[in-house]
């Protein structure tokens, strides 16, 4: 067995680690610097998201066609840019 000194050390460690974690991660400045920017990477602002989700089959197909045409136009523009860089 470890004895009383080991028990005091373990008890102080069990108290010290959560308190240090709360002090470090509970700091508002740390939260503003590390959590808020990451939150905006994960969840874009509402103006960048589509709030009106189509529910009818025709509306869904129209939306998919619109998305496909946007992707195709971006791909064509990107390929044209690459071709102009190569020449």
Q: How many other CB atoms sit within 10 Å of the CB of residue 63?
A: 14
- Residues comprising the chain, all counted: 87
> Would you write out the chain's pLDDT as a tens digit for each of its 87 residues?
678 899 999 999 999 999 999 999 989 999 999 988 888 888 888 887 877 888 999 999 999 999 999 999 999 999 999 888 876
- Please give the pLDDT value at position 51: 77
- Please give the pLDDT value at position 33: 92
Strands (E), 1-87: none
- Please give the pLDDT value at position 66: 94
């Amino acid at each position: 067995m470890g004895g009383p000194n080991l028990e005091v050390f373990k008890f102080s460690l069990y108290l010290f680690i959560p308190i240090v974690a709360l002090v470090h991660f509970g700091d508002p400045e740390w939260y503003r610097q590390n959590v808020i920017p990451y939150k905006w990477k994960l969840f874009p602002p509402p103006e960048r998201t589509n709030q009106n989700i189509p529910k009818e089959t025709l509306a869904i197909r129209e939306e998919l066609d619109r998305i496909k045409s946007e992707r195709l136009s971006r791909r064509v523009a990107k390929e044209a840019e690459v071709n102009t860089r190569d020449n």
